[in-house]
Amino acid sequence: MPIPLIQPRHRHRNDIDGMTSSPKIFVTGGTGFLGHSLLPMLVQQGYHVRALTRHPERSAWLHPLGVEIVQGDVEDEALIQQAVEGCQYVIHAAGRFSFWGKREQFEQTNVIGSRHVMQAAVNAGVEKFIHISTVVVVGTPLPDLLVDETHPTHPVDPYQRSKLRGEQVALDYFHDHKLPVVVLRPGAFYGPHGRYAFNRLFIEDPIKGLRIQLNNGRYITFPVYTGDVAASAINALKLGKAGEVYNICGETMTHHQANDIVSEEAGISRFRLNVPGWSMIALAYVWTALSEYTHIEPYYPLNLRSYVFNYWRVSSEKAKRDLNFQPISFRDGVRATLDWYYREGIVKPRRG
C-alpha cells in the first residue's frame, strides 16, 4: 500500500528532475508546538523534510516550505516503516503531553509509537536519530542536587513514566541495534504557537487577569524557548554523541522572577495574589476528581504539583559544551512569545 504522501507545492532549489541532493529527514511531531520552529529551520539549513501529521488540512503553513507531508501517526507501524524509507536522519518529536490523562494513552504514543519509529529507522539505516524526551523524567528534583543528566529519575505521573520508558527504549536501540540515538531532555516549552502549560500559566493567564503566585513565588521553574530546542535538535544531528543524553533548558529562575519579567514585557502590574500551596492542591484534588465525570481536563490538574511545587535547578552545561547550545534570554523569549499572542489577536498589547 503506497504511503499517503502529500507532495510539496514548492520544490527545493537543489531538486533536479524530481530528485534532491539535500539530506532527507523524517520528522514526527512536525506540526506541533516544537515543529513550528523546527521545520522552517530544517528547510533553511538545506534539509529535505518529510513531516508526519494527523491533520494535514491544518498544516497549510508547510506548503510554502516545500515539506512533504505524511498523513498518519506513530501508532501506525506499517505507515512509519514506509515514511522513514530513504531518509538519512530522523527527529522524533511526536509525543502525547498533558497534565491529565490515562496511562494507556501516554504509553501508546510515547512508548509503543516511539518503538515503531526507532525500528523503522534501524530498517532504513538512518545515520542519526534525535529523540525528544523531557527533563521531567526526573520526577521530583532532589534539593541538594543540580538536575543534570546524571540526576536519578523517579517519575511521578503517567506522562513522566511514559517519557522515561520511551527514552529507555531509545537507548536500548542504541545498545542492541546500533541505532545512533541522541536523547534531548528539554525543559518547560514556551514560545510562539503554544497556549498550554508554561505559556498559559506564566504568560496568558496573567495578561488575562488571573494573577496568582504560589507560596510567594519561591519555587524554581525551568523554561526553554522552543526555537532553542529546535536549534539544539539540528545541532545534535551533526554534533550529538550517539548514546548520550542532553538537558536543553534556558535560565532557571524563581516563579517570582519569571512573573516580574512577564509583567514588565506585557505592561501589566507585577502584583500577584499569594496563594498557599495547600489550598491549590486541595482545589486540584477536587477539580481532578470531577474530571472523572466530566471527562474534561481540569484547569489545575493534580499532576501539576510535580512541575510547579519543586525547585528545578537544571543544568545544560553538557549541551552547551557538546551541542553549542546557546539559549536566548528569558526576557527576549517572552517578548517574542507576546508578539505572537498579539499577532494572533489572543490578547491585546497594553502598550505601544
Q: pTM to 2 decimals?
A: 0.92
Give the separation between CA 189 and CA 197, rounded to whole angstroms: 8
Give tens-digit pLDDT for 126-185: 999 999 999 999 999 998 899 999 999 999 999 999 999 999 999 999 999 999 999 999
Three-class SS string for 286-299?
Answer: HHHHHHHHHCCCCC
DSSP state of 189: E
CB 323 within 8 A of CB 246: yes
- Those residues with Cβ within 8 angstroms of residue 74's Cβ, 6 or more apart along the chain or in another chain: 28, 52, 80, 92, 94, 109, 113, 114, 116, 117
Strand segments, DSSP code E, in 12-95 are 24-28, 48-53, 68-71, 89-92
Per-residue tens of pLDDT for the chain, all 352 residues: 344 444 444 444 444 334 447 899 999 999 999 999 999 999 999 999 999 999 888 888 998 999 999 999 999 999 999 999 999 999 999 999 998 888 999 999 999 999 999 999 999 999 999 999 999 999 999 988 999 999 999 999 999 999 999 999 999 999 999 999 999 999 999 999 999 999 999 999 999 999 999 999 999 999 999 999 999 999 999 999 999 999 999 999 999 999 999 999 999 999 999 999 999 999 999 999 998 889 888 899 998 999 999 999 999 999 999 999 999 999 999 999 999 999 999 998 876 4
The percent of residues above 70 in pLDDT, for the chain, comes to 94
Between CA 130 and CA 137, with CA 133 as vertex, the angle to 5 degrees is 150
Instruction: Give the N- to C-terminal CA distance of the chain in Å, as an integer.
Output: 55
- Those residues with Cβ within 8 angstroms of residue 303's Cβ, 6 or more apart along the chain or in another chain: 99, 100, 157, 159, 288
CATH number of the 5-192+224-250+313-328 domain? 3.40.50.720
Beta strands 253-254 and 220-221: pairing type? antiparallel
The residue extents of the domains of the chain are 5-192+224-250+313-328
